[in-house]
Structure 1
Amino acid sequence: MVDLQRDDAFQSLDVELLSIAPDAREAWREEGGRMGIRNFETVLSDADNGVATSFGVMRWAVGTEPGHTFVLIDDAGDVAWLQDYGAPENGGVMYVLPHEVVRQVREHL
């Protein structure tokens, strides 16, 4: 998230970045501050995983913890792209380089 916030190519895409996690907002502020997250308005606390479930993200969950999933929502509110990089069947990657996210967003917008 931090690298995407700092990436000029991502910033030029005219998309909003929102991080959704089951953690409490206070925990996000503490951890996010250490990580360098600048805007906590872009963090959604999804304690019951309702939002994650509605986007189909929980299919890659480990227990009740969602993975590292990217969801691109188009102007009509439809899912234009959905990719979980952390799942073993998707490569098991826990960090995705910004240029890969930029490539996917450009391809699916």
Structure 2
Amino acid sequence: MSRTVGRRTFMIAGLLLTLVVAGVVSYYASSSPDGLEWAAGESGFAGTARDSAVAGSPLADYGVAGVDDGRLSGGLAGVIGVAVTLLLAGGLTLALRRRSGTSARD
């Protein structure tokens, strides 16, 4: 087995594992408030919270707007987040490789 095939297999396996964690394991995540929200409630200043400027965005609050099932919405948001992160990282990698003059084979 060549080194390229081994690297490609490793990367695909890592991608699949990431998607499983983001999409499936997040389905079982707790729906209770996170630590900061809990601490704010315990300290008595939770009522002073305001929505962020992006509160109305399609992926606000760890979910996908328009998907009624909270757990499914969270899983979809995780998968979309992984995809966007990989696209940004891949695009940045390609741009930096071209800028420095190195090829993908180096």
With normalisation by structure 1, the TM-score equals 0.28
Structure with a larger share of its residues in helix? 2
Q: Give the TM-score of the pair, scaled to structure 2.
A: 0.28
**1 or 2 for the larger relative contact order (CA 8 Å, sep ≥6)?**
2
